[in-house]
Chain A
């Protein structure tokens, strides 16, 4: 597998959208650098066990938003992206992760107070390990 993309079996988010967002995150996070090649549509479809139609849709959206560019006969590459845009992707994905966690908590009927408590506790245990509060 060329790209560390994991499709969710539990999310109703369309598959092309999941792929689109995860590639954006790989670009924003620096795993995919400007100019690095992306797998061909057919190859990524095989790796992710989806169809070329789905991958093409994801690539087209990414290209439209300026994250990647296709050079005729050469392939698809990561485009030059402004810092602010990368920042925006990071912010969105962090918000998304918190929203997902909240959904789980709400489904177990936790109150806002309890959720805050859990958040504080998790943060606290992390700072002991030294990987937060840097």
Chain B
């Protein structure tokens, strides 16, 4: 598969906070979700990818070009939606569109109009006069329509109502259909992660905990409910226990152990993504 972005051993210090070192490869056709608590470095990583912040060590390539290259052609391959738009307040949606569209050779006006219609975005109102949710929708429409091969979204569905979230997911799914583009998005929304993400890049206070394929994560932890009280000795791979149930990351070894000790299972299942992430982030 074609590599669209490559991050190698990137590190960035901001006051007391250090992000990385971190590696990330973004392949065409994939959606990567950046997940982690508030202040874990998700937005910083996106800024580094846009060269809006400079890394202390390591390097980032977009479309095979280092982002600190004086030649800035790579910028036409990537579109970024930050959490807040600076300098947009005085302009109407129409003025913003007329300003942004010519900068991107692949600008898709049809898609832009579809988004404006689907989200009922008023183009004649000044940005500052729009609600928070509407501002987010307009800036998404102005970002997605650039039709670049990489889309960076910083919490795209924050402040959005349920039906708008569903619509956006539909648009992004269709946008990804060709298999030649990629999305990297930071998010706190479980739906974004379960329905859109292929890979999860997990960050905790700037520490990179790993990037996992979703299926790996969906089968990472197993929960068992036992018939009788649990023995005091921990089970293989045990990560937590409560009452007659426990969680392990070594299901095979656990089941061999249970067999050998003739302990009866009442039920068992994988942990869902939300619970798995919580465990990973509290380790």
Against B, the Cβ 8 Å flags (1 = close, 0 = not) of A69-89 are 000000000000000000000
Q: Which residues of A contact B251 (CB under 8 A)?
A: 12
B residues sitting closer than 8 Å to A (CB atoms) are: 29-31, 169, 173, 176-177, 179, 194-199, 213-215, 218-219, 222, 251, 264-265, 267-270, 272
In whole Å, how far is B252's beta carbon from the nearest beta carbon of chain A?
8
A16 to chain B, nearest CB (A): 7
CB distance from B106 to the nearest CB of A (A): 20
The answer to whether A107 and B173 touch across the interface, beta carbons within 8 angstroms, is no
Are A50 and B215 within 8 A (Cβ)? yes
Q: A9-B269, A12-B251, A51-B197 are in contact. Are A46 and B213 (CB under 8 A)?
A: no
Q: How many angstroms between the C-alpha atoms of A3 and B212 in the bound complex?
A: 26
- Whether the pair A51, B270 counts as a contact (CB closer than 8 A) is no
Chain A 22-46, CB within 8 Å of chain B: the 1/0 string? 0000000000000000001111011
Whether A46 touches B215, Cβ cut-off 8 Å, given contacts A53-B198, A107-B264, is no
B267 & A54 in contact (Cβ 8 Å cutoff): no
For this complex, 19 residue pairs linking A to B, each with C-beta atoms less than 8 Å apart, are A9-B269, A10-B267, A12-B219, A12-B222, A15-B219, A42-B176, A42-B177, A43-B173, A43-B177, A46-B169, A46-B173, A51-B197, A51-B213, A51-B214, A52-B31, A52-B198, A53-B214, A107-B264, A107-B265
The 9 closest A-B pairs by CB, nearest first: A51-B198, A51-B214, A49-B194, A9-B269, A54-B215, A10-B269, A46-B195, A15-B215, A42-B176
Give the shortest distance, in Å, between B81 (CB) and chain A (any CB).
20
Known: A15-B218, A51-B197, A52-B31. 20 other contacts (CB 8 A): A9-B270, A9-B272, A10-B267, A10-B269, A10-B270, A14-B219, A15-B215, A15-B219, A16-B215, A41-B179, A45-B198, A46-B173, A51-B199, A51-B213, A51-B215, A52-B30, A53-B213, A53-B214, A54-B215, A107-B264
Task: Spell out A's residues near B (CB within 8 Å).
Answer: 9-10, 12, 14-16, 40-43, 45-46, 49-54, 107
Q: Are B214 and A54 in contact (CB under 8 A)?
A: yes
Across-interface contacts of B30 in A (CB, < 8 A):
52-53
Whether B29 lies near A52 (C-beta < 8 A) is yes
Q: A22 vs B131: C-alpha distance in the bound complex, in angstroms?
A: 45
For the complex, what is the distance from the CA of A50 to the CA of B179, rounded to whole Å?
A: 16
Which residues in A have their C-beta under 8 angstroms from that of B222? 12
Q: Is A40 a contact of B269 with CB atoms below 8 Å?
A: no
Closest residue of A by beta carbon distance from B198: A51
Tell me which residues across on chain A come within 8 A of B219, comparing CB atoms: 12, 14-15
| Chain A residues near B267 (CB-CB < 8 A) | 10
Q: Which residues of A contact B29 (CB under 8 A)?
A: 52
* Closest A residue to B193 using CB positions: A49
Considering the complex, give the chain B residue whose CB is closest to the CB of A15.
B215
- Among A10, A15, A40, the residue within 8 A (CB) of B177 is A40
User: With the chains together, A45 CA to B198 CA distance in Å?
Assistant: 9
**How far apart sit A50 and B213, CA to CA, in the bound complex (Å)?**
10
Task: Please name all residues of chain A whose beta carbon is closer than 8 Å to the beta carbon of B268 when the two chains form the complex.
Answer: 10
Residues of A within 8 A of B197 (CB): 51
